[in-house]
Copies of this chain bind each other. A is one copy, B any other.
Amino acid sequence: MSLTHLQSFVAVAEEGHVGRAARRLHLTQPPLSRHILALEDELGTRLFERTPRGMRLLPAGETLLCHARRILADVDTAVRTVRNLSTRERSTHPES
């Protein structure tokens, strides 16, 4: 499980389409498809139903989507918090 896999998963879930999600992520279809397959393999269950139109979330996928969004948002918050903290520290106590 990696953040890259989770980002890929959310993009495919939101687009319902590997091709569009790949464009959105500036990737090609095959690696993105592999991310989803790896995730399904690791979790031991299918996350999407493959339809002729694209990908539709299955119940396990719906559940993962909630968790994935929260995790990715928390990572974003963590990065921005620590960055802001260090910026403020630098402007308050300049060292040079």
Binding site for B on A (CB under 8 A): 1-4, 42-45, 59-60, 63-64, 67-68, 70-71, 74-75, 77-79, 81-83, 85-87, 89
Contact = CB atoms under 8 A, between A and B. Distances in A.
Contacts of A77: 67
B81 A67 contact: yes
* Complex copy number for this chain: 2
A76 to B, nearest CB: 9
A78 to B, nearest CB: 4
A74 B64 CA distance: 11
A55 B7 CA distance: 32
A3 B4 CA distance: 10
Contacts of A68: 78
Contacts of A42: 79
Given A43-B86, A67-B77, 12 more contacts: A43-B82, A44-B86, A44-B87, A45-B83, A45-B85, A45-B86, A60-B85, A60-B86, A60-B89, A63-B81, A67-B78, A71-B78
